[in-house]
Amino acid sequence: MSGDAAHADAMLALLRADQGPPPLVVLDGRVPHGVIPPYVLVYFASADPEDAESRSLAGDSQRHRTRAYAHCVGANAEAARIVADRVRSAWLDVIPTVDGRVCWPIRREEGVQAERDETAGAAAIDLVEVYRLESVPAD
């Protein structure tokens, strides 16, 4: 499994472990028709940074970085914040397990101002939180 998929799977598993009550609804990259808030919709973007500490002596990239964009969606602002708090509890400072990799603790990079979204009919509040997971190959 690639670093991208392995990092995404590890982070999604942490969110899916939140059984509430109620269980946290976790969506990977799309919202199926008929799903109503609250839920967290997650997108991932990965990179192999060119930092000096990310290269081995042979010059190849070692460090892998994944950013997770968690769209914390609720029927109102309070509900969106509750979803964001659950995401924070699942991810912040947690060191996930990724086969063949040594991971650093997950860090929060930023939050984006909540926005009202009425594209699906009923109004919902979308609060975006950005987290980062980095790893290097295990020896």
pLDDT digits 0-9 by tens, 77-90: 999 999 999 999 99
Which amino acid would we find at residue 138? A
Q: What is the pLDDT of residues 14-23, one digit of tens each?
A: 999 999 889 9
What six digits make up the tokens of 122? 């009923």
**Distance set, CA 58 to CA 10, 27, 49, 96, 138 (Å):** 29, 39, 16, 27, 16
What's the mean pLDDT in 87-105? Answer: 96
Q: What is the pLDDT of residues 30-88, one digit of tens each?
A: 999 889 999 999 999 987 665 555 455 555 667 889 999 999 999 999 999 999 999 99
Sequence-ordered alpha helix ranges (H) in 17-119: 77-91
Is the per-residue pLDDT at 6 higher than 70?
Answer: yes
